[in-house]
Amino acid sequence: MGKGKRSVFLLLAVWGVLFRPEAAYMHGFSAAGDGGSVVLSVQTTPDAAYRSETGVTLSVGKLFGQSVRRKAESFPYTDTFMKVRETGGEHIYPVSAMGELYDSSGHEVIRPGEALRGQLVKQIAVLHRKHYGELISWNDAQKAVPRQAKFEVLDLETGLAFRVQRRAGRQHADVQPLTKKDTAVMKSIYGGKWSWNRRAVLVRYDGHSYAASMNGMPHGGDGIPENGFSGHSCIHFAGSTTHKSRSKDTAHQFMAHRAAGMAGSFAGKASPQELADLVVTALDQHDDAMLELLGRPHNRDRLEELKKDSRSFVSVRRLTEWKPDEARKAEQEYVFELPVELAFEEAGKRPRKAICRFAFTRASLYDPWELTQFEYPEPDRPGKRTEGGRNSR
């Protein structure tokens, strides 16, 4: 490994370690029949303040007494958790879509009996429909939410909502907050500072909830005076494109799928170029959950180092232009390496450029790509420096 570089291996971390039970709100408990209670919850990411919950009438004794356990150091990516409260306290278990639980304290996967697991699977499906939005194409979205329509936007991380009007946009929706109050709520979602960061949102209009992605930067034309928002912002749906390039923005597409509860599905079908874009987005937006989804279960300490390093990044963006012939070549490969020039801005340091290397593997042409290696210059040992400016998107 060259001087000033290190090879960083990502992994899929144990969600039970990341989930914070103290952040959950409690309601809807139902008697479990043996002095305990069981609550299922769905949240877009482990740190999301917004979540959907439902009480489940299950016997705690039967749930664990009729289960089969097996050792496992990790657990598949999940957005579903079970809170079991008994006399002695409560415990949080990540739950898969197939109704299996993960006990992080013992590194065990718990598979309940078939009848109980069937009940869990049905409850999870109902809860997902309640929490997430419908994934619709841009062609359908621009008809379902026409120009001049006024609708609510719900941020799936904070749970905050505000109202906007769709004013324009042929490739995606150009929207503006209706009032100064709506502008203030939108700004608070971005921590009080306007940002290009993509966020998973629900577009609520005419009795429907649609999965979408928004950015939070006022730009371009302005059509609603006195709302405290100079310009418009963008909302993307599945298949929508940017105005200038007429190409899909990978981060927007990921967030729209995240808002539909399909983040894992999107990553599973992504090309190496798209996966590289998602890594860059995760570093740029400090999105730990995205890194968890993209990683592999090899070395948790290295992932934690990468997360810590990313906190010093003010922005990370891709400079390399993707070439169509490279994408076609990747379609026929099982191992694929991708050198990518990135621009880094770090707190208290001059902006710099560096060539970073991504490595991907897959078991067959029909299996998903997995990110196995990401090599980048250490923040305290920068590569080639530049005086390049801020990201403009």
Q: Give the sheet arrangement for strand 313-318, strand by strand.
A: 5-8, 370-377, 352-361, 335-346, 313-318
Same domain, 112 and 145: no
Same domain, 164 and 252: yes
Q: Note whether residue 8 is domain-resident.
A: no
Task: State mean pLDDT over 121-133.
Answer: 95
Quote the pLDDT of residue 301.
65
Same domain, 75 and 166: no
In tens, the pLDDT along 194-207 reads 999 999 999 999 99
Q: Note whether residue 67 is domain-resident.
A: yes
In tens, the pLDDT along 128-154 reads 999 999 999 999 999 999 999 999 999
End-to-end CA distance of the chain: 34
Quote the pLDDT of residue 13.
33
Pairing relationship of beta strands 233-236 and 173-177 according to DSSP bridges = antiparallel
Q: Would you call 81 helix, strand, or coil by DSSP?
A: strand
Same domain, 226 and 269: no
Which residues make beta-bridge pairs with 203? 153, 210
In tens, the pLDDT along 277-327 reads 999 999 999 999 998 888 765 556 666 777 887 888 899 999 999 988 888
CA distance 233 to 21: 34
Q: Note whether residue 1 is domain-resident.
A: no
Q: Note whether residue 359 is domain-resident.
A: yes
- For residues 59 and 3, the model is more confident at 59
Q: Is the pLDDT of residue 387 over 60?
A: no
Least confident stretch, 14-23, 113-122, 252-261? 14-23
| Alpha-helical segments (H) within the chain | 15-18, 60-65, 114-131, 138-144, 180-189, 250-258, 263-269, 272-285, 288-294, 300-310, 324-330
Tell which of 131, 162, 181 closes a domain.
Answer: 131
Same domain, 274 and 250: no
Angle 322-384-198 from CA coordinates, rounded to 5°: 45
CA distance 172 to 311: 31
Tell which of 83, 108, 131 closes a domain.
Answer: 131
Same domain, 273 and 386: yes
Quote the pLDDT of residue 377.
65
For the question of whether the overall pTM of this predicted structure is more than 0.75, the answer is: yes
Same domain, 124 and 139: no
In tens, the pLDDT along 20-50 reads 332 332 233 333 445 568 899 999 999 999 9
Task: With CA atoms as reference, report the closest residue to 251 among 285, 278, 291.
Answer: 278
Quote the pLDDT of residue 296.
64
Same domain, 324 and 245: no
How high does pLDDT run on average in the chain? Answer: 84
Domain of 356, CATH number, reads 3.10.450.50
Same domain, 275 and 244: no
Domain count, the chain: 3
Q: Note whether residue 235 is domain-resident.
A: yes
| Domain span at 28 | 15-131
Q: Note whether residue 31 is domain-resident.
A: yes
- For residues 345 and 33, the model is more confident at 345
Q: Is the pLDDT of residue 367 over 90?
A: yes
Least confident stretch, 3-7, 13-17, 81-85, 302-306? 13-17
Q: Note whether residue 351 is domain-resident.
A: yes
Same domain, 127 and 143: no
Q: Is the pLDDT of residue 392 over 90?
A: no
Quote the pLDDT of residue 298.
53
Tell which of 208, 236, 260 closes a domain.
Answer: 260
Quote the pLDDT of residue 6.
40
Quote the pLDDT of residue 348.
85
| Alpha-helical segments (H) within 238-375 | 250-258, 263-269, 272-285, 288-294, 300-310, 324-330
Same domain, 43 and 161: no
345 contacts 315 by C-beta, under 8 angstroms: yes
Non-local (6+) Cβ contacts of 351 within 8 A are 343, 344, 345, 385, 386, 387, 388, 389
Q: Note whether residue 2 is domain-resident.
A: no
